């Protein structure tokens, strides 16, 4: 079996997720290489560990860069902190005004509050960055490499969190609006209202893409080991709750060789887990990837992985 359907018209966002160390980054890059044959593709890492630079053996960083040696492929490693400080700088006046008009905090308190970190803000900012790229529309396909499961789940639940923040802010504003209307009888929408409205629209835009299975697909990566299977199960359950679709699963690190006693033993040990994956994730097509003799680093190794995921290029 090979990964299928990623070239479909309209499918723009492909997210890889799974336990740490199972091969998400390698598979995301190999997929981006494949897609860049026919589509302008942007590879986005939201993993704070940022391993796409290491795996591609070229520096990427928090600016979109063309991947050298590959036409039609650009990449970026999103740094949540930088995305957040960019957002704060851009919307500083609206954020301050929101707090000035809705709380009793003085300027000093407000400045301090704005420097505090809010749980979930990193993922919200990372996701907002992805959506901003999609809306700019410079690429046909966006391939996202995530950090281990917890992060991926927070990433996909970020619209809900952002929505909750907007609701709280809108409620705070409502009191302010009520007071102005009571005193002056007349309330004009201001930049804070527009800001909250634009955040609300961002939530809708993210949800519209995430929940539309013609636009977005989540590809879990797993290995034939007990812990990885359990974690994948939890991941798929959560994805299901958020109405995010998965059609196929990558089963990585499958032992192919029986050349020595060690390999034979490893292979036999994996068999029951491969069967368990079949029985547990019945709704998903499985794409098996053999364990390579060496780590996957550099374009040559990535192209070999790509062939395992998508089939031999000559035969296609």
Ligand X SMILES: Nc1ncnc2c1ncn2[C@@H]1O[C@H](COP(=O)(O)OP(=O)(O)O)[C@@H](O)[C@H]1O
* Residues with a known catalytic role: 47
Number of residues near ligand X (by CB under 6 A) = 16
- For residue 36, the partner it binds in Mg ion, ligand X, none, with Cβ less than 5 to 8 A by kind, is none
Please give the structure tokens belonging to residue 82.
């930088």
Q: At its nearest, how many Å lie between ligand X and the CB of residue 112?
A: 37
Binding ligand X (rule: CB under 6 A), the pick from 3, 12, 13, 24 is 24
Instruction: Decide: 38 and 27 in contact? Cβ < 8 Å.
Output: no
Q: At its nearest, how many Å lie between ligand X and the CB of residue 182?
A: 56
| Segment interacting with Mg ion (CB under 5 A) among 50-58, 74-82, 134-142, 190-198 | 50-58
The reply on whether position 151 binds ligand X by CB under 6 A is no
Binding ligand X (rule: CB under 6 A), the pick from 12, 14, 25, 77 is 25
Q: Which residues contact 187 (CB under 8 A, 6 or more apart)?
A: 177, 180, 181
The reply on whether position 26 binds ligand X by CB under 6 A is yes
Residue 273's closest CA among 313, 216, 218, 233? 233
**Of the two residues 148 and 159, which places its CB atom closer to ligand X in the complex?**
148
Sign of CA dihedral 113, 116, 119, 125: positive
Name residues contacting ligand X, limited to 233-272 (CB under 6 A).
252-253
Instruction: Decide: 120 and 158 in contact? Cβ < 8 Å.
Output: yes
Alpha-helix runs per DSSP H in the chain: 24-35, 52-56, 80-90, 92-102, 107-115, 121-136, 149-156, 158-184, 191-210, 226-241, 261-280, 298-310
Instruction: Decide: 224 and 290 in contact? Cβ < 8 Å.
Output: no
Q: At its nearest, how many Å lie between Mg ion and the CB of residue 52?
A: 8
Q: Cα separation of 65 and 73, whole Å?
A: 9
Q: Cα separation of 129 and 135, whole Å?
A: 10
The reply on whether position 25 binds Mg ion by CB under 5 A is yes
Tell me the CA end-to-end span of the chain in Å, nearest whole number: 14
**Of the two residues 47 and 94, which places its CB atom closer to Mg ion in the complex?**
47
- For residue 307, the partner it binds in ligand X, Mg ion, none, with Cβ less than 5 to 8 A by kind, is none
**Of the two residues 97 and 266, which places its CB atom closer to ligand X in the complex?**
266
- For residue 253, the partner it binds in ligand X, Mg ion, none, with Cβ less than 5 to 8 A by kind, is ligand X
| Segment interacting with Mg ion (CB under 5 A) among 47-55, 56-64, 162-170, 279-287 | 47-55
Count of C-beta atoms within a 10 Å radius of residue 304? 15
Q: Which residues contact 295 (CB under 8 A, 6 or more apart)?
A: 301
Name residues contacting ligand X, limited to 287-316 (CB under 6 A).
289, 291-292, 295-297
**Of the two residues 99 and 296, which places its CB atom closer to ligand X in the complex?**
296
The site for Mg ion (CB under 5 A) is made up of 24-25, 51
Interacting residue ranges for ligand X, rule: CB under 6 A: 20-26, 51, 252-253, 289, 291-292, 295-297
């Amino acid at each position: 079996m090979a990964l299928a359907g990623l070239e479909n018209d309209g499918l723009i966002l492909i997210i890889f997720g799974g336990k740490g160390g199972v091969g998400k980054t390698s598979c995301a890059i190999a997929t981006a290489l494949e897609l860049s044959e026919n589509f302008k593709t942007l590879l986005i890492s939201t993993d704070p560990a940022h391993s796409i630079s290491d795996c591609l053996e070229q520096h990427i960083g928090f600016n979109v860069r063309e991947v050298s040696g590959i036409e039609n492929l650009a990449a970026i490693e999103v740094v949540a902190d930088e995305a957040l400080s960019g957002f704060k700088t851009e919307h500083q006046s609206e954020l301050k005004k929101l707090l000035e008009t809705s709380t009793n905090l003085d300027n000093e308190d407000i400045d301090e509050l704005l420097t505090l970190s809010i749980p979930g803000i990193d993922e919200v900012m990372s996701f907002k960055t992805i959506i901003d790229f999609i809306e700019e529309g410079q690429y046909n396909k966006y391939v996202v490499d995530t950090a281990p499961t917890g992060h991926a789940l927070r990433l996909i639940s970020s619209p809900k969190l952002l929505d909750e923040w907007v609701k709280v802010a809108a409620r705070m504003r409502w009191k302010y609006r009520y007071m102005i209307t009571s005193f002056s009888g007349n309330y004009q929408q201001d930049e804070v209202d527009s800001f909250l409205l634009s955040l609300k629209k961002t939530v809708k835009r993210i949800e519209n893409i995430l929940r539309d299975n013609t636009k977005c697909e989540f590809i879990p990566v797993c290995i034939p080991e007990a812990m990885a299977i359990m974690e994948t199960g939890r991941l798929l359950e959560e994805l299901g709750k958020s109405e995010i679709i998965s059609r196929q699963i990558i089963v990585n690190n499958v032992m192919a060789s029986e050349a020595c006693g060690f390999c034979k033993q490893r292979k036999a040990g994996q068999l029951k887990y491969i069967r368990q994956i079949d029985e547990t994730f019945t709704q998903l097509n499985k794409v098996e990837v053999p364990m390579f003799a060496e780590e996957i680093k550099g374009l040559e190794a990535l192209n070999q992985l790509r062939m395992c995921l998508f089939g031999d290029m000559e035969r296609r």
